[in-house]
């Protein structure tokens, strides 16, 4: 494990400046706890697995491991972009530091650049500290009156957790047998429960399955539900999709429908720790949302985001590498006898045929962080695409933990 020996003490530095000395023996459990792997409840859908609820800054409410401990782990648990931001983005962020002591600092006109990119006006954009903030702000805007959010399970449950925190709740629809989201079920529930529903949440592509809702299905959804029902479409993984049947739902904003698109710089742009995302929506919706937003996106994130928007070739390369590694890994798991769910994102799910929670800890013993449980799919494991080396470590560990078998299909 370390040249210092298994029982040698390690220092754990916390955000509040405090330190704690733990033995190497307790390291794995400690990292697992800090990363949120232990005792994750069904409603606790941890974003980076380092906090009590997704949407906030990862690790904000928990101790963080030291850099050495963190760096020794293969991080395949939070759907990050393992290659990091390119030189151009790092340079832009570096240059922004000359404003680090200011309040009214220049922002690189990130909102103007986003407006240009999406063909909307600046009044259609709300900048946020990660798209997690958008999900919270939309939830607060439409659910404070006690109305419910309608969506599927499993999905990225940040909106559900936020609904619970403001004493609202969710109507959760099951996925279909093929793990896709059922649009007819959405439409039926939206109409049957119209007076109770404040918001529809559609994650496209969905996290944790990685599966898309096609552009025709999105139209079927928006045309089928009550006209004035707000729909939050979370496109965090938009940039990884290859399937031509998928399209962004941005045009519905231009049509003036009550649609809010959430986007992030955390995934394809590799800026997760910088905390920057945004919403695109009709101006009157953005106006309703604005009072609930923090309005506080830091200078480095703003300049980094503008540079990232220009890095189209770099992002195309990231997409290509990610898909190639995802395909290579899933092919290896299939050959070993384990079925994977076809994904259009930088992560995938594999059916493991037994409960995931202890398996997470078995992987953590090998210093590999894999995804949390996603009830009711607790016999599946979500794996983020990491570097070539990390994926090789993952496949080797998988083969040690799971025996080769003739492929079987395990249900949800």
Q: Rounded to the nearest whole angstrom, what is the least distance from the CB of residue 52 to ligand PLP in the complex?
A: 15
Which residue is at the shortest CB distance from ligand PLP? 130
Distance CA(244)–CA(247), nearest Å, equals 7
- Give the residue ranges of DSSP H helices in 152-298: 158-165, 183-192, 215-224, 250-254, 283-289
Q: Which residue has the tokens 């709300």?
A: 126
Mark 177-196 with x for binding to ligand PLP (rule: CB under 6 A) and - for no binding: --------------------
Contact flag: residue 209 with ligand PLP (CB under 6 A):
no
Taken in order 357, 16, 97, 111, the sign of the CA dihedral is positive
Paired sense of beta strands 19-23 and 9-13, if any? antiparallel
Residues that bind ligand PLP (rule: CB under 6 A) add up to a total of 14
Upper half-sphere CA count for residue 111 (Cβ side, 13 Å): 15
- Sequence length of the chain is 412
Q: Rounded to the nearest whole angstrom, what is the least distance from the CB of residue 130 to ligand PLP in the complex?
A: 3
Closest by CA to 145, choosing from 194, 198, 200, 199, is: 198
Among 51, 207, 209, 315, binds ligand PLP (CB under 6 A): 207
Nearer to ligand PLP, 28 or 241 (CB): 241
Contact flag: residue 203 with ligand PLP (CB under 6 A):
yes
Q: Rounded to the nearest whole angstrom, what is the least distance from the CB of residue 66 to ligand PLP in the complex?
A: 23
- 314-373: contacts with ligand PLP (CB under 6 A): none
Paired sense of beta strands 74-76 and 148-153, if any? unpaired
User: Of 105-113, 129-137, 139-147, 315-323, which segment contacts ligand PLP by CB under 6 A?
Assistant: 129-137
Nearer to ligand PLP, 47 or 179 (CB): 47
- Is residue 19 within 8 Å of 11, Cβ to Cβ? yes
Among 141, 249, 266, 329, binds ligand PLP (CB under 6 A): 266
- 156-175: contacts with ligand PLP (CB under 6 A): 156
Contact flag: residue 374 with ligand PLP (CB under 6 A):
no
Distance CA(382)–CA(349), nearest Å, equals 4
User: Of 14-22, 125-133, 184-192, 332-340, which segment contacts ligand PLP by CB under 6 A?
Assistant: 125-133
Contact flag: residue 69 with ligand PLP (CB under 6 A):
no
Contact flag: residue 132 with ligand PLP (CB under 6 A):
yes
- Token pair recorded at residue 72: 């020794």
Q: Rounded to the nearest whole angstrom, what is the least distance from the CB of residue 205 to ligand PLP in the complex?
A: 8
Contact flag: residue 298 with ligand PLP (CB under 6 A):
no
C-alpha dihedral (72, 77, 83, 86), degrees to nearest 10: -120
Q: Provide the β-strand partners of residue 75.
A: 369
User: Of 28-36, 126-134, 382-390, 391-399, which segment contacts ligand PLP by CB under 6 A?
Assistant: 126-134
């Amino acid at each position: 494990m370390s040249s210092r020996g298994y029982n040698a003490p390690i220092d754990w530095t916390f955000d509040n400046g405090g330190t704690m000395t733990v033995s190497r023996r307790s390291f794995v459990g400690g990292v697992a706890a800090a990363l949120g792997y232990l005792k994750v409840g069904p409603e606790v859908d941890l974003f980076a697995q380092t906090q009590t609820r997704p949407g906030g800054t990862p690790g904000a409410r928990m101790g963080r491991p030291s850099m050495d401990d963190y760096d020794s782990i293969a991080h395949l648990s939070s759907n990050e972009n393992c290659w990091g931001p390119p030189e151009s983005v790092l340079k832009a962020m570096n240059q922004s530091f000359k404003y680090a002591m200011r309040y009214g600092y220049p922002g690189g006109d990130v909102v103007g650049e986003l407006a240009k990119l999406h063909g909307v006006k600046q009044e259609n954009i709300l900048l946020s500290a990660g798209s997690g903030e958008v999900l919270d702000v939309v939830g607060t805007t439409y659910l404070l009156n006690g109305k419910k959010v309608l969506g599927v399970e499993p999905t990225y449950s940040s909106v559900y957790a936020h609904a619970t925190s403001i004493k609202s709740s969710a109507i959760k629809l099951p996925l279909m047998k093929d793990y896709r989201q059922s649009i007819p079920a959405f439409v039926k529930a939206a109409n049957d429960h119209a007076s109770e529903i404040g918001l529809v949440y559609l994650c496209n592509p969905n996290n944790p399955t990685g599966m898309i809702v096609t552009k025709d299905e999105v139209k079927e959804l928006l045309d089928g539900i009550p006209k004035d029902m707000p729909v939050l479409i979370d496109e965090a993984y938009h940039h990884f999709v290859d399937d031509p049947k998928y399209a962004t739902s941005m045009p519905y904003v231009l049509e003036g429908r009550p649609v809010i698109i959430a986007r992030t710089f955390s995934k394809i742009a590799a800026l997760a720790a910088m905390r920057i995302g945004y919403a695109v929506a009709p101006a009157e919706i953005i106006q309703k949302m604005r009072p609930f937003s923090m309005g506080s996106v830091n200078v480095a994130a703003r300049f980094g985001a503008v540079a990232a928007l220009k890095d189209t070739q770099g992002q195309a390369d990231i997409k290509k590498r990610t898909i190639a590694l995802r395909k290579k890994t899933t092919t290896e798991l299939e050959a070993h006898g384990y079925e994977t769910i076809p994904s259009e994102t930088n992560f995938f799910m594999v059916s493991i045929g037994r409960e995931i929670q202890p398996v997470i800890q078995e992987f953590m013993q090998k210093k590999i962080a894999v995804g949390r449980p996603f009830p009711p799919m607790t016999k599946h494991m979500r794996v983020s695409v990491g570097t070539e080396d990390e994926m090789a470590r993952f496949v080797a560990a998988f083969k040690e933990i799971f025996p080769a078998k003739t492929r079987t299909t395990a249900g949800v």
